[in-house]
Amino acid sequence: MQMQAATTTTAARRLAPKPQPQANRCRPSSVSVVAAGRSRRRSARSSLRASASLDQEVKERASPAAGKSGQATRRDVRNIAIVAHVDHGKTTLVDSMLRQAKVFRDNQVVQERIMDSNDLERERGITILSKNTSITYKGTKINIIDTPGHSDFGGEVERVLNMVEGVLLVVDSVEGPMPQTRFVLKKALEFGHAVVVVVNKIDRPTARPEFVVNSTFELFIELNATDEQCDFQTVYASGIKGKAGLSPENLGDDLGPLFEAILRCIPEPRIEKDGALQLLVSNTEYDEHKGRIAIGRLHAGELQRGMEVKVCTPDDACRISKISELFVYQNFSRVPVDNVSAGDICAVCGINDIMIGETIADKVSGTPLPTIKIEEPTVRMSFSINTSPFVGKEGKYVTSRNLRDRLYRELERNLAMKVEDGETADTFLVSGRGTLHLTILIENMRREGFEFMIGPPKVINKTVDGKLQEPYEIAAVEVPEEYMGSVVELLGKRRGQMVDMQPSGPEGTTLLKYKIPTRGLIGLRNAVLTASRGTAILNTIFDSYGPWAGDLSSRDQGSLVAFEDGSTTSYALLNAQERGILFVSPGQDVYKGQIVGIHQRPGDLAINVCKKKAATNVRSNKETTVVLDEALSYSLDDCIEFIQEDELVEVTPASIRMCKNPKVSKKNR
C-alpha cells in the first residue's frame, strides 16, 4: 500500500502544474478559419487521450495520497518572462508596463529602455543580459524577466525559464515569427510553460495581424506543442504608446487587457510550502558592498535572513553557508525582507562562492534540484597576450595571469561560454554561441583596461560515426527585390541552401530563408549590406550539425601590410591609396606587420606608409596639394569578421588594430 501511495503522489505532482481547466480559460482572440480548423482537427485526434487523462487526473486528485504531497498555489504571485526576436519591442513594452503600474513618480525623468542599464546595451540598442523587475496589479505581484532577443545570447533565455510559469511571446505585427522567435518558443514549450502571444507594434501602417497570428499558430504546431499550449491567448499591443486590446481594431486606452491576460492565463506558482527548502540559482550579480548575489525562484519551503543553509552542487557535493541578507524585487528595485515564501523570486547575499546551477537547500534534509542545461557553443576564438611593439602603452592589464583570471571569472555568470588552455601558456581558447557573443566579452574587457590579441573565429566541428560534421544555421534575409539576385548569389557561394522564399511585409521586399554552414556566416553581414546597398536585414539562429559542406572562401581581397615602424605621412599614403582602401590617416603610428588597408587584389602586399618626401635645395614655387581619400574606420565586429587565418586583432582600451600573425607567417615560409 505504501508503494502504491507513493506512486500515486508522484503522478499527482506530475500532473499538477498543468491543470486542464486552467488552459481552457485562454483562447486566441483572433485566429483565422484555417488555423481554427487545424486546432479542431488536432483536438479531435487526441479527444480520447484527453478524456482518459482527465479521468485519471480526477481519480489521482481524489486519492488520499495526493492530499499529503503538500502542494499548493500562490494566487498573489505570477512569474513571467518576456521573450521575442531581436527588435520586436520587448524592452519598450516593459517600459510601458512599469509606467502604467506607477513604478515611477509622475515627475520622475525616466530614460527610454530603462531595463537596458548596461552601457553596451544602450549603445547597440539590444538586450544582452536578462534582468528582473516586478509590478503590482490588482493586488497581484507580477515578477517580470526581460530577456535578450539575439540568438547569440540564447543562454540567458535558457537559464531563466525555470524561474517562471509562463512567457509573453512578443511578435512584430509586420515581420511575424523570426528565427529567434522559434528558438525561445521551443524552449518555453519544452518547459511546459503557458504562452500569451503579444502582437506588438500593431500601430504600424503595414501591420498584418491575421498573418502573424496564423504564422505563430503554425510555429506552435511545428514545435509539437500540446493542444492546451496551441490554445493560446492573443493580445494586440503598441508598446511605445502603452495600449493593448483583444482585437487589432479595438485597442484600449492602456495595457489593462494585457495585465488581465497575464492574471487569467499564466498559472499560479505551484509550491510545497511545508516542504524542504529548495532554491535553484539561475543568475548571479556582484555588488561592491554585499559581494556575490544569487538570484532564483524559491521552489519549496521558506527562506529567512540569518538562517544556515546547505549549498548543493550538481555532483552532490554540499557545504554549509549562512544567509546574511534577503531581497525581493518590488517595482524597479530590490527591497530587503526578513523572509521569502515559496513561489517568489528573490536575491540572496552571504554565499560568496555560490555558482549558477547550484541549489540552496535545507540544512538537514535538503536535496539538489536538476541543474541548468545549456546548449553547446558553436564558435571558438583564441585570446592571447599582446605581443605588438605598442604593448603596455594604452592598457592596464597585459599579462597572461590577468587575462586568465578575467576569462575564468566570466564563466561564473556566462554559462553558454567555455574557456580552455591553448597550445602555449599565454593563449586561451574561448568558445561561445556566435561571434557577437564573444565580441561583447571582448568589448567589456577592453573597457576594463585589458590589452590582448584575438584570432579569427572558427567553428567547432564534431566527428560522428567517423564523419566530420559542422554546425549549420538558418539565415533569414529581408531584401528588396532589385537586390535579391546579388544576395542569392552571395549566399550560394557560401554553401547556403534555400529552404523558403516568400514576400515580406513592405511592398517589394522578399524574405529568403537559407540553411548555411556557420563558417559561411563569418563576414556575411557586411557582404550582404554591400550587395544590397545597406537595405537588407540578416537574422540567424543555430539549426543543427550536418555533413561538412566543403571548402569556401569568405574574402576575395588581400591586406595591405606596413613593412616598417614609424609615423604615416601624406606623401606615402598618396601612393599607397592607389593599391586599395586604407585604414590609417596621416600622423598615425604604425609598426611592421600591421594591416593598414585592404588590397584591391587577392593576396597581401607590403607597402611603405611612412616614407617621407626627399628634401632638396631646389626651391619650389608652389607646394603640391595632397588629396587623400577618407580612411576606412572598422569597428571591433568588422575587424573580427575581416581577419583571416594568419591575422590577429590587437585590442586595447584606446585602439583596435589588425596585424599579421608572426607565428603563422613563419610556418608558411
Which residue, of 292, 324, 359, is where some domain finishes?
359
Q: Which of 312-316, 489-493, 638-642 has the lowest mean pLDDT?
A: 312-316
Please determine, for residue 102, whether its predicted confidence score (pLDDT) is greater than 50: yes
Does residue 107 sit in the same domain as residue 235? yes
398 pLDDT higher than 60: yes
Pair (346, 381) in one structural domain: no
By mean pLDDT, which of 451-465, 619-633, 637-651 is the weakest? 619-633
Give domain status of residue 503, yes or no. Answer: yes
Tell me: pLDDT of 651 over 90.
Answer: yes
Domain hosting 96: range is 70-268
Q: pLDDT band at 119, cuts 50/70/90?
A: low
pTM of structure: 0.75
Q: How many domains does the chain have?
A: 5
What pLDDT was estimated at residue 9?
Answer: 39
For residues 132 and 247, membership in a common domain is answered with: yes
Average pLDDT estimate for 500-512: 79
Partners of residue 327 on adjacent β-strands = 336, 347
Residues 261 and 197 in one domain: yes
- Grade residue 44 by pLDDT with cuts at 50, 70 and 90: very low
Q: State residue 47's pLDDT score.
A: 39
CATH code for the domain of 415: 3.30.70.870
| Residue 648 domain-assigned (yes or no) | no
The b-or-e profile of 217-255 (16+ CB within 10 A means b, else e) is: bebbeebebebbbbbbbbbbbbbebbbbbbebeebbeeb
Phi, psi of 134 (to 5 degrees): -155, 155
Residue 454 in any domain: the answer is yes
In-domain check, residue 51: no
Q: Give the up-direction half-sphere exposure of residue 49: CA atoms within 13 A in the CB hemisphere.
A: 7
Q: Which residue has the cell 539538489?
A: 368
Residues 394 and 453 in one domain: yes
Amino acid 53: pLDDT: 39
pLDDT attached to residue 506: 60
Distance CA 648, CA 659 (A): 5
For 346-383, the pLDDT digits (tens) are 999 988 888 888 889 888 887 888 887 777 888 899 99
Residue 465 has pLDDT above 70, yes or no: yes
Does a structural domain hold residue 41?
Answer: no
**Whether 121 and 171 share a structural domain:** yes
Tell me, yes or no, whether 355 and 475 share the same domain: no
One domain, residues 253 and 345: no
Does the pLDDT of residue 227 top 50, yes or no?
yes
Q: Looking at the structure, do residues 139 and 212 belong to the same domain, yes or no?
A: yes
Beta bridge partners of 473: 516, 542
- Residues 178-201: tens digit of each pLDDT: 888 888 888 888 888 899 999 999
Is 540 contained in some domain?
A: yes
Instruction: Report yes or no on 98 lying in a domain.
Output: yes
Task: Clarify whether residues 286 and 396 are in a common domain.
Answer: no
Most confident segment among 101-115, 441-455, 515-529: 441-455
Please answer whether residues 445 and 453 qualify as being in contact, where contact means their C-beta atoms are separated by less than 8 angstroms.
Answer: no
Q: Could you tell me the CATH number of the domain that includes residue 526? A: 3.30.70.240
Mean pLDDT value of segment 67-94 = 77
pLDDT at 7 over 60: no
At 40 the pLDDT is: 41
Give per-residue pLDDT as tens, 581-622. 999 999 899 999 999 999 988 888 999 998 887 766 555 555
Is the pLDDT assigned to residue 667 strictly greater than 70? no
Q: Flag whether 663 is in a domain.
A: no
